[in-house]
C-alpha cells in the first residue's frame, strides 16, 4: 500500500511514477476523498475540544455556587448536547470516508524504484548477465513433455482425467526427481542462512490482501466456497503474513525464511499459452525465499536474494540469464524485480524460473509489519523481499531438455545424483 501522506504531499511525483507502469492509475479520487476526510476530522476535533471546554466550564461554575438549573448552566448543557449529536453524525461519516480511501489505496500498485529501467513492456527489460553458455546442448532436443512421456515419468492425459487440463502426473523417476529437487533446493537455502518454514497451504483473505494478491488478482486464485480460505498461490503469502500486525525489534532483523509449498493458480487470461508440459500449470511445486529486512539494507539484501536463487541453477549447471524488469513489466507490488530465466533448448529461448522482487514497505504497510529501534519512540515499516528458489516444475523441464542424451535417456545432474541414487533417467 502506498503512503497516503506521500500521495497528499507529493501528488505529482506519485502520479508520475504510477504513469510509468503498464496500467491506468489515477490518484485524484483519493485526493478528493482525503480532503473531505481531513475537513471532517478537523471539524470533529474542534467540536470535541469545545465539548471538553463546556464540561470544564460547567464544573467550574458548579464549584463556584451555580445551580444545575441556572440559565447559564442549562445553556451550556444544551450546547454540549448539540455538539454530542453533531459528533455522533460526523464519526460514521469520517469512518466511511476512511474506508473508501483505504479501498482505493488497495487498488494502487507500488511505485517503481528510481533505479528501475523505464519501459512499456517485457520487450524493454534489461539483461544484466548470462551464465552457463558452455552447458547448452549442441544438438536438437525433444521438448520436455515429449521426452518425459517417452521415459514414462510424465503423464498429462491421466492427470486431465483425474482433474482437468493444466495438471500433470509424475510417475516413478519423475516423482522422485520432483522430490529430490525440492529437498535439494531447501538444503541449499538452509545452508545459505534461511530458516525453513512449512506454512499452511490454505490462507485467509486478510493474508492475500496484505501481500497484494487481493483485491486485484481474485480471479487468479482458487477460493474455498464454504470458508474464508484460499489455496496459496505462492509461499510468499503465508510466510510474509506470519508477522502481520506485529512490531518486531530491530535486532530481530533480518529475517530469512525458505518454504516449500504446492502453489495453485487459475492462470486466468493465459489460455492458449504453454498448454503442454510443466511451464504453466494450475498446481505446481515451488521453494520460496522470503526476507524481512531493515530499510537501510534493503537493496543489498535484494542482490543477495538473487544470488541465492542463481546458486541453484549454477549447482545444477543449467544455463540462464538475469533480466531486470522495466517499469511497465513490474509485478503489482514490486518496486524493483529481477527475473531469472532458464534456457529451454527445444524452444531456443529463455523462460522465467524465478522472480526476485523487492517490495520496499508496500506489503508491510498493507500487513502492518513494523519494527522498533532500541531507544527510539516510533516504529518503522520493514522492507519485504521474496523470490522463487526455484519453481520446481520449470527446473525439471530445464533438466529434461538440457540433459538429454543421444540414446534417449536423460542424465541426472551431478548435484542431484546422491538424492536420487541414480545417474540416468
Grid-cell match 516449500, residue found: 260
Residue 52 is predicted with a pLDDT of 84
Name the catalytic one among 280, 351, 366, 370. 280
Name the catalytic one among 207, 298, 355, 357. 355
196 is known as an active-site residue: no
Q: What are the pLDDT digits (tens) for 67-93?
A: 778 888 788 888 888 888 888 888 889
Fold assignment, 4-105: Helix Hairpins (1.10.287)
Q: What are the pLDDT digits (tens) for 109-120?
A: 999 999 999 999
Residue 155 parent element (H or E): strand 154-155
265 is known as an active-site residue: yes
Residue 277's pLDDT band (cuts 50, 70, 90): confident
Grid-cell match 473508501, residue found: 100
Residue 332 is predicted with a pLDDT of 96
Name the catalytic one among 17, 166, 265, 351. 265
CB 141 within 8 A of CB 343: no
Chain mean pLDDT for the chain? 93
**26 phi, psi to nearest 5 deg:** -130, 120
Mean of pLDDT values over 49-67: 81
Domain 122-420 top-level CATH class: alpha beta
Q: How far is CA 91 from CA 40, 49, 81, in A?
A: 8, 15, 15
352 is known as an active-site residue: yes
280 is known as an active-site residue: yes
Question: DSSP characters for 283-311?
Answer: EEEEEEEEEEE-GGGHHHHHHHHHHHHHH
Query: CA-to-CA distance for 228 and 221, rounded, in angstroms?
Result: 13
Mean of pLDDT values over 256-270: 87
CB 27 within 8 A of CB 18: yes
Residue 146 is predicted with a pLDDT of 93
272 pLDDT higher than 70:
no
Name the catalytic one among 79, 179, 352, 422. 352
* Prediction pTM value: 0.90
Residue 273's pLDDT band (cuts 50, 70, 90): low
CB 248 within 8 A of CB 277: no
Q: Where are the domains of the chain?
A: 4-105, 122-420
Q: What are the pLDDT digits (tens) for 167-199?
A: 899 999 999 999 999 999 999 999 999 999 999
**178 phi, psi to nearest 5 deg:** -60, -50
**19 phi, psi to nearest 5 deg:** -65, -15
270 pLDDT higher than 70:
no
Mean of pLDDT values over 287-300: 97
179 is known as an active-site residue: no
Amino acid at each position: 500500500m502506498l503512503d497516503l501522506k506521500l500521495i497528499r504531499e507529493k501528488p505529482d511525483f506519485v502520479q508520475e511514477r504510477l504513469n510509468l507502469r503498464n496500467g491506468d492509475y489515477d490518484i485524484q479520487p483519493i485526493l478528493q476523498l482525503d480532503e473531505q476526510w481531513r475537513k471532517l476530522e478537523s471539524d470533529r476535533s474542534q467540536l470535541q475540544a469545545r465539548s471538553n471546554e463546556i464540561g470544564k466550564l460547567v464544573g467550574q461554575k458548579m464549584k463556584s455556587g451555580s445551580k444545575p438549573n441556572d440559565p447559564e448552566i442549562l445553556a451550556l448543557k444544551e450546547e454540549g448536547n448539540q455538539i454530542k449529536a453533531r459528533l455522533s453524525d460526523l464519526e460514521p461519516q469520517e469512518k466511511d470516508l476512511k474506508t473508501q480511501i483505504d479501498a482505493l489505496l488497495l487498488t494502487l500498485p507500488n511505485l517503481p524504484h528510481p533505479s528501475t529501467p523505464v519501459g512499456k513492456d517485457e520487450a524493454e527489460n534489461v539483461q544484466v548477465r548470462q551464465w552457463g553458455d558452455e552447458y547448452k546442448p549442441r544438438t536438437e532436443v525433444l521438448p520436455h513433455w515429449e521426452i518425459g512421456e517417452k521415459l514414462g515419468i510424465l503423464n498429462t492425459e491421466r492427470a486431465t482425467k483425474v482433474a482437468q487440463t493444466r495438471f500433470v502426473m509424475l510417475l516413478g523417476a519423475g516423482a522422485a526427481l520432483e522430490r529430490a529437487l525440492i529437498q535439494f533446493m531447501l538444503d541449499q537455502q538452509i545452508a545459505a542462512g534461511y530458516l525453513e518454514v512449512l506454512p499452511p497451504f490454505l490462507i485467509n483473505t486478510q493474508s492475500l490482501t496484505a501481500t497484494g494478491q487481493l483485491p486485484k488478482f481474485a480471479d487468479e486464485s482458487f477460493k474455498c466456497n464454504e470458508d474464508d480460505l484460499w489455496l496459496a498461490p505462492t509461499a510468499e503469502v503465508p510466510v510474509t503474513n506470519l508477522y502481520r500486525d506485529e512490531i518486531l525489534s530491530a535486532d530481530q532483523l533480518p529475517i530469512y525464511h525458505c518454504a516449500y509449498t504446492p502453489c495453485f493458480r487459475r492462470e486466468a487470461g493465459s489460455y492458449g499459452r504453454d498448454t503442454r508440459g510443466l511451464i504453466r500449470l494450475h498446481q505446481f511445486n515451488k521453494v520460496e525465499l522470503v526476507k524481512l529486512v531493515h530499510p537501510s539494507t534493503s537493496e543489498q539484501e535484494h542482490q543477495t536474494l538473487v544470488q541465492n536463487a542463481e546458486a541453484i541453477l549454477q549447482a545444477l549447471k543449467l544455463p540462464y540469464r538475469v533480466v531486470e524488469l522495466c517499469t511497465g513489466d513490474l509485478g503489482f507490488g514490486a518496486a524493483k524485480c529481477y527475473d531469472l530465466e532458464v534456457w529451454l533448448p527445444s524452444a531456443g529461448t529463455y523462460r522465467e524460473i524465478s522472480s526476485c522482487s523487492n517490495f520496499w514497505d508496500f506489503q508491510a504497510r498493507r500487513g502492518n509489519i513494523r519494527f522498533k529501534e532500541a531507544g527510539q519512540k516510533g516504529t518503522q515499516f520493514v522492507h519485504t523481499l521474496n523470490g522463487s528458489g526455484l519453481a520446481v516444475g520449470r527446473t525439471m523441464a530445464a533438466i529434461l531438455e538440457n540433459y538429454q542424451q543421444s540414446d534417449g535417456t536423460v542424465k541426472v545432474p551431478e548435484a542431484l545424483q546422491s538424492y536420487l541414487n541414480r545417474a540416468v533417467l
